[in-house]
Structure 1
Amino acid sequence: MSASDLTARVLQLNSRLRGGGTDSQCLALSQGLSDLGWTIEMAGPADAPLSGAGQNFAFHPLPRFRLFQILSLAGILRRTKPRILHAHHGDDYWTALLASRLVEPRPLVIFSRHLAKSPRSHLSKKYLFAQADAVIAVSSFVAEVLLRGHDDPASPVAERHHRSACVLSAKKLHLIHTGIDTTHFCPKGPAFTQQARQNLQLNPNQLVFGVVGGFDLPVGKGQRIFLKAAQSVMRHLPTARFLLAGSGNMEDLLRDDIRHLGLEDRAY
């Protein structure tokens, strides 16, 4: 390690940086480690929505094509010689492993696992996680899927009917929950609330329900269920309003739901 056993040079690998919980957590973790004296560098796309935020650290642009990405990352590892290579998305895992095998000294390879799903390929299930030096699961359920698998035959999402376990030593798996920055997400005063309601054209007597999160297929963060529930709530609370905050490829579908459920002028 570097000057202290408690600090090290870390290269964060994030091939998306498009937004969402994984990318936000990657950036927050990087800033937190930097504040504690760790040397943080980041490798990712140069033109993604959050690439600018990644450039708060030493930033290494990566090509999009996977083979070139692996070779480029190997070159970055040779130049920077990080102690730790931390991959944050499933798409980054093989890239990190293969690039790390092309250099000496080889960095420790860490995966962060946010999704409670099994890899599609048998090769990944058998070898991918077993080759990492450590795997971080962000919830007990994610850890359960990795170690033991999980069956949910009643789920409307086909891939959740059977999720196979992966070959992974329990000693390598670490449960570290993600958290909330309470200096940013905290109750505000009446003036803030009043201004926010004015910006959203909400009356003081309107009770507001909301969901904050991305809405990519197949299910987003449950926004369609939220809208169906909103239809029932509206019958009992006619003044209620419903807010969806986020982005994703389900936007047109959610707008159709709002129309079909009769929530125009009540859901935004």
Structure 2
Amino acid sequence: MRLLQITASSVWRGHEQQIVYYYDAFDSKIEHQVLICPTETKLAEIAVSKNYNVHALPLKSEYSRRWIKKIIQVIKNEKIDLVLIHNSTAHTLCVIASLLSIKKTPLVFFRTLIKDIATNPLRKWKYNYKHLVKLICVSQAVIDVLGPSIKDHSRFTIVGSATNLDDFKRTSKSYKLHDELGLPRTTQLIANISAFVPFKDHYTFIKTVNILKDKLPNAKFLLIGTGKMEDEIKAFTKELGLENHILFLGFRNDISEIFADFDLFLFTSKLEPTGGVLLEAYASHVPIVATNAAGIPEVVNHNQTGLLCEKENPESFAEAVLTVLENKELKEKFIKNGFKHLKENFTKEVITEKMREELLKIHKNHS
């Protein structure tokens, strides 16, 4: 199999990390592969540092002629027989390139977003394009939203998120955060790591803290991340008088070093495709309280690897947090079962092999 992986994403998040996992894992297991990505991105930087067969070029438009020309050129010159697409803009560019090409190379789209496409006729057509032979979704929740707009459901399959256990070797407290924040080492840390965007539902996190502040006087609540709603959430925190209880730590490059310092991971997101950060909690031996919504129940088994709560229900979250923190046996059960669940289903090795097998099957059926 000769594979082209392509993304037009300029950010660095879980999906972009997964592209690196795939490229590294496939390198010795398939005949040939190429990566196309935007310049001046972390992905491009990593690709160059690792000597990937990469074509990095600037992207100014979803309909970039330069990108379309490059896609056609790479497919032809490097004899590509399967294209793995990693984001919506790349999907558009690949469909246009396919329309302009005589030889119709099979396209596969790895979809990781929960977003309805039914209101956009052009987008619906793009997802039903006949040479887009497979829609690999990161969870059943993604399929459930896309499903009504897709004519042929046999094109759906699932390959989940992955985490690298080598990146999360610390499974006991280092107290790095306690020392950095000037907190006694007995302080309980209850954390959330996510971008400040609407579906992450930081409002429910703040409301949960408001319920817990008097019940957990020895706790601090940490919000890690950045985003367009950060100032809005900080203002709401101040409005409720929670500035001394909730600490905003911004973007961190040391998540794997500090994760094990958390006593509990509180994840209030209400439209999560899978929640890759939940896998990092498992890896770091941190118990989870999360939302029973979207793709999260595909990662967290209620009362086995963590507790799931009704979305937008701070009372439910507060009760669950107290249940875990006050029951050492339950906490240890979640840590043990969560780590086992991760190793069996969501490690880099498990997921990359599952994707490779899926791509080989697609290649065999369309060659």
What interval of TM-score do these two structures reach, taking the shorter chain for normalisation?
0.7 to 0.9
1:228 aligns with 2:207: yes
State how far apart, in whole Å, the 1-side matches of 2:47 and 2:226 are: 20
Letter in 2 for 1:250: M
1:95 aligns with 2:93: yes
- Which moves more between the two structures, 35-44 or 105-114? 35-44
Indicate if the aligned counterparts of 1:45 and 1:64 stay in contact, CA closer than 8 A: no
Residue 250 of structure 1, CA deviation? 2.0
Scaled by the length of structure 2, the TM-score of the pair is 0.60
The match for 2:184 is 203
Residue 263 of structure 1, CA deviation? 2.3
Measured at CA, do residues 233 and 172 of structure 1 come closer, stay the same or move farther in structure 2, by a change above 3 Å? same
Measured at CA, do residues 58 and 189 of structure 1 come closer, stay the same or move farther in structure 2, by a change above 3 Å? same
State how far apart, in whole Å, the 2-side matches of 1:98 and 1:61 are: 19
The match for 1:61 is 56
Residue 127 of structure 1, CA deviation? 4.5
Q: Of 100, 103, 106, which aligns to 2:104?
A: 106
- Cα RMSD, aligned residues only: 2.3
State how far apart, in whole Å, the 2-side matches of 1:73 and 1:22 are: 21
Measured at CA, do residues 253 and 50 of structure 1 come closer, stay the same or move farther in structure 2, by a change above 3 Å? farther
Letter in 1 for 2:80: P
The match for 2:72 is 74
State how far apart, in whole Å, the 1-side matches of 2:90 and 2:160 are: 20
Residue 70 of structure 1, CA deviation? 2.0
Local SS of the residue matching 1:18: coil
State how far apart, in whole Å, the 2-side matches of 1:36 and 1:197 are: 44
Residue 246 of structure 1, CA deviation? 2.4
Local SS of the residue matching 2:151: coil
- Which moves more between the two structures, 178-187 or 232-241? 178-187
The match for 2:39 is 46
4+ long deviations beyond 6 Å: none
State how far apart, in whole Å, the 1-side matches of 2:4 and 2:216 are: 51
Indicate if the aligned counterparts of 1:133 and 1:172 stay in contact, CA closer than 8 A: yes
State how far apart, in whole Å, the 2-side matches of 1:259 and 1:35 are: 53
Residue 212 of structure 1, CA deviation? 1.7
Local SS of the residue matching 1:211: strand
1:149-188: CA deviations, max 9, x gaps?
xxxxxxxxxxxxxxxx212312211111112222323542
State how far apart, in whole Å, the 1-side matches of 2:106 and 2:154 are: 15
1:143 aligns with 2:117: no
State how far apart, in whole Å, the 1-side matches of 2:84 and 2:171 are: 35
Residue 137 of structure 1, CA deviation? 0.9
Letter in 2 for 1:78: K
Superposition map of 1:73-222 within 5 A: 73-103=71-101, 105-119=103-117, 120-131=119-130, 132-147=132-147, 165-190=148-173, 193-216=174-197, 219-222=198-201
Return 5+ residue gaps in structure 1 as ranges: 1-7, 148-164
Scaled by the length of structure 1, the TM-score of the pair is 0.79
Measured at CA, do residues 41 and 207 of structure 1 come closer, stay the same or move farther in structure 2, by a change above 3 Å? same
The match for 1:150 is none
Local SS of the residue matching 2:128: helix
Letter in 1 for 2:236: D
State how far apart, in whole Å, the 1-side matches of 2:151 and 2:40 are: 34
Q: As a proportion of its length, which structure holds more helix?
A: 2
Q: Figure out how many residues of one structure are paired with residues of the other and give that number.
A: 240
Measured at CA, do residues 31 and 261 of structure 1 come closer, stay the same or move farther in structure 2, by a change above 3 Å? farther
Local SS of the residue matching 2:214: helix
Aligned residues with identical type, % of pairs: 20
1:26 aligns with 2:24: no
Return 5+ residue gaps in structure 2 as ranges: 249-367
Letter in 1 for 2:217: P
State how far apart, in whole Å, the 1-side matches of 2:223 and 2:145 are: 29
Residue 91 of structure 1, CA deviation? 2.0
Residue 47 of structure 1, CA deviation? 1.4
Indicate if the aligned counterparts of 1:11 and 1:43 stay in contact, CA closer than 8 A: yes
Indicate if the aligned counterparts of 1:17 and 1:23 stay in contact, CA closer than 8 A: no
State how far apart, in whole Å, the 2-side matches of 1:50 and 1:201 are: 35
Higher relative contact order (CA 8 A, sep 6+): 2
